[in-house]
Structure 1
Amino acid sequence: MTTKSLRPHRDDVLLAVFSVLVGLVFWSLGIYSNGSRHFLPAWAALVPLVAVGSMELLRRTMPSLTLAVGTVGVIADQFTVGSLATVVIFTDLMYAAVVYGKPSMARRLPVSTGLITVIVTIASVAWLRTPQALLIGVITGIVSFAPALTGATLRNHREAAEAARLRAEQTALLAEMDRSQAVAAERARMARELHDMVANHLSAIAIHSTAALSIDRAETSREALGVIRENSVQGLAEMRRLIGLLRDAGAEQEAAAVPSLDGLEALLEKARTNGSASGLDFVLADERPPARALPAPVELAAYRIVQESLTNALKHAGPGTVTVRVARTDAALTVAVDSPYGDRRGPRAPGSGAGLVGMRERAELLGGEFAAGRSGAAWQVRATLPTELEAVEA
């Protein structure tokens, strides 16, 4: 315990000074509590008064010591002419011992003082055998049990308030953590959507603009500029659609804006146009059974995986055929994209690796599996997505 912690509180200093001064005034006026029941000179009553009063300085920092000294002082006061101030100070020391003392003391003092009050009452009645003997028990209860019980009640209220405050802080902390996680998850989802929607168009723009700069032929440049314009317009439309969704997250608008596997043929047609300069062709093998709807999250994830695979093929694949296969069983939807792996004659667009990360995240969020890598002369992308609604929601 540091010196600073032993420094008396300002209120305790004022209380100690005021209590001792009141006791001195009572003593000087001849106001005693014991009357003729004393064995010592009148000035002897000042000794327990000063001793007990000085303990008010330590009532917060050393409650056990102050209660012990106060108990000895109030007992010693009974052998003098007596000071009412000494008794009153002792009741405050009892109260402070319960409020500021250790938890074990706070639990023990109300019980022990209650038992002492009962024992003193019974002993007084048995010894004096007069109704007035009950007053001794009442006074004992007022001096010891009442302040201990009051202190215990206050301490219980304080501890309950502190526990409620801690629970509120923990709840607020958990809510903030949930909010942060939700924000991070939403940002990741938005990043995937932005990448998947715009990367395809920007890759085509990069490839054809490079071709227009590197091949000095008017026909080639005009064709490249046409593809660049088309992808620019489509990319701008996609960006506007996404911004509209962010501004108005209405269920009807969002549901209408989510792409589905029915748009795969149109997606491949765009890829054929964009990949013609690089010697790429695109083939779709849709092996799904007809009239069997898929959950919207599964359709969106599969569509985006195919879209990103085609974008990667436009960036990196060698001349040849890119094959897209989509199949479905009772439990899963399978997406497979095979593209030629090797050197290419046409221009390349730079890649960041974010596309593979986004495809893997989409599959894992639905409880599915994802794999991508080279196999012989082909680059293979494989994704297995569960089609059960319970699995998707989990």
Structure 2
Amino acid sequence: MSRVVAAWRRIPAWLVDLLAVGVALLDALLYRSGDDPLTLGLCLVACAGLLVRRRFPLVAFVLTLPAALVATIIAAPIIALFTLAARSRRYWLLLTCGALFAAAEAIGWPLTSQFTSDQDHTAISFVYRLAAAAAPILLGQLVQTTADLRSRLTEIEASRQHERELYAQTVLARERNQLAREMHDVVSHQVSLIAAQAGALQVTASDPAAKEAASAIRSLASTTLEELRSMVMLLRAAGTRSPGLAPQPTVSDLEDLVTASGLAVTMEGSLPPDLGSARERAVYRTVQEALTNVRKHAPGSAVTVRQWSDERSVAVAIVNGCPTSTPLRLPSSHLGLLGLHERAELLGGTLVYGAEGDGFRVELHLPRMTK
């Protein structure tokens, strides 16, 4: 069953809509109650209305009611009613639409002849049609509930993943603290003894070569102690607050980043405050990496950082000109822009970069968060 559902979801939406229109047309041609132009026109309008059922489900259903009144068609109203039930949470609207469908099918046209000829048959037909309308409504609500459950399961899995990450960070912090204590209590103590013994040997030895060796050992031990103290402080700081939980830079920090860069940077435009933390970090890291590359490869060049946004996306572009001094020969892993490209793809955006005139351009585009 799951394979069938998965295969059905892979069918393009436009093909499903055309299939629905085809089924409705076949039903209208087989079971229409007359050949007059009005009946044929209303049936065609009902079938064509199914093309807008995804975006305007209520409009699509209303367009099928006149055809249901003048002709004995079932497919078009049932499909429209199912789509409305799958997208609407207003139960009173679904009940009203179901009753209208049943009344249109049971009463028929002209209205006066149905009310005066056989009212019992009309009432019984209305009950049957009302039961028939309940099927697409219940099925549509089932589809909607399934989608809600799937979304809820996704949220629960994301929450569990976050909890696992927090637990891993807690364990990592505990291990860092333990390692820091071991280094302080054991390794530092042993190195201190080495330094003390070397100092004593330097004082008591009569051989100049032995004195020089002892002095070198003592100097190396002292340097090692200083490095150990730095490592212990770093481990304790990391263990106290995991880097994953530390405050992350945002778009509001770009001014400080530009000021600290020491480059001639011109800021243009701005970004809205509701980007979300992941997008703000992506914008910040992109500007940071671009400015770093300018300092390394195009020192002295003028830089322009332009920010803009619209209803669907936000963007930032960093453009530098020709360098005015010799570029610095610094080691590079060539992975900075690649990492930014991967970060942009994870957020559903794009990162493009390349030469532009005498300089270089880096441009990031990210989709806006959906409400």
TM-score normalised by L of structure 1: 0.44
TM-score by length of 2: 0.46
